[in-house]
Amino acid sequence: MVVPSRGAHARKPADGGHDRDDALSPVGRETLQDRVYAQLRNSLINGMFDAGDVLRIVDLAERLQTSTMPVREALGRLVSEQALESLPNRSVRVPLISRERLDDLARARILIEGQMVALALPNLTDDDFAVLKQINVDCDLAFEQHGKDIGHATSALNQQFHFHIYHAARSQVLIPIVESLWLQSGAIIRKAAHIHDEEGGLAATNHHWALIGALENRDVEAAMQSLSNDISRSFDLIRGRLDAEPNGNASGGHHA
């Protein structure tokens, strides 16, 4: 959580309170560069930006109530992490969703996160299962709020669910790799949540419940398969939209 500077006041978003603007609050003076980076990074992981959104340094600095220098440095770090991409006009954007990028990320996430589930399984307790079940209940309630911008809320709950399991793997090496994959997948998960809200169908947490059941039964193969099904579902929703769009682009981005 980023603490605003004393006397700083939040600026009302121009779009009437969109969740992405509300999520960016003024940052304090101490460790300013790290705070700006951490907040933008967390915003990307939690799907607060759409694919194709253009992030302008001056606009972000104004919303964060800071100077342009720490914002520029934070964006540069995020570009190097492949979470953002540079544009010719010196601005950056959230990468567009292409079929190649979609398939590459899905493959990497299933491979790495499947191993995280296998490593975590022996360490999970009844208390952990109770936490996972409550997160699922909260996520189901969030998805019932049709007609609202639920992408941020459901993405945050989805992250809590998965990383509660992954941290039980106790791997200091693999956790940063998973975080990097999620950093690059945030806009995809956000888009998948919106498509699911539009189209309905199987409950978004269906594979989460199956994963919990497999973990409780200590069935590592079933747990890894449930995890694969869960990741694949989000990516398959985007693939369906890509196939339906004449230009093969499901991003629908705009200026942030």
User: pLDDT tens digits for 116-160?
Assistant: 999 999 999 999 999 999 999 998 888 777 555 666 677 788 889
Quick check: 55 and 93 in contact, CB under 8 A? yes
Distance CA 27, CA 36 (A): 7
pLDDT at 252 over 80: no
Decide the pairing of beta strands 85-86 and 92-93: antiparallel
Is the pLDDT score of 203 beyond 50? Answer: yes
* Better-scored residue on pLDDT, 179 or 248: 179
Q: How confident is the model at residue 253 (pLDDT cuts 50, 70, 90)?
A: very low
Nearest to 4, CA basis, from 84, 58, 78, 64: 64
28 pLDDT band, cuts 50/70/90, is low
In sequence order, what E strands does the chain have? 54-55, 85-86, 92-93
CB 169 within 8 A of CB 144: no
Is the CB of residue 175 less than 8 Å from the CB of residue 166?
yes
3-state secondary structure of 247: coil
Strand order of the β-sheet with 85-86 is 54-55, 92-93, 85-86
Specify the pLDDT at position 22: 59
9 has a pLDDT exceeding 50 = no
pLDDT tens digit sequence for 190-201: 888 777 667 666
Write the CA distances from 217 to 89, 115, 129, 172, 210, integer angstroms.
54, 17, 11, 26, 11
Q: Please tell me which residue, 10 or 199, carries the higher pLDDT value.
A: 199
Q: How far apart are CA 92 and CA 85, in angstroms?
A: 5
Dihedral of alpha carbons 95, 228, 138, 121, sign = negative
In this predicted structure, the answer to whether residue 73 has a pLDDT above a threshold of 50 is yes
What whole-number percentage of the chain has pLDDT above 70? Answer: 79
For the question of whether the overall pTM of this predicted structure is more than 0.75, the answer is yes
pLDDT number for residue 150: 62
Mean pLDDT of the chain: 83
DSSP single-letter state for residue 12: P
Q: How far apart are CA 49 and CA 65, in angstroms?
A: 19
pLDDT top residue among 76 and 148: 76
More confident residue, 53 or 16: 53
Please give, one letter per residue, the 3-state secondary structure of 69-108: HHHHHHHHHHHHCCCCEECCCCCEECCCCCHHHHHHHHHH
d(CA 30, CA 40): 17
Confidence check: pLDDT of 254 > 90 = no
Q: Which residues contact 120 (CB under 8 A, 6 or more apart)?
A: 165, 166, 167, 168, 169, 170
What's the pLDDT score for residue 83? Answer: 94
At residue 40, the pLDDT reads: 94
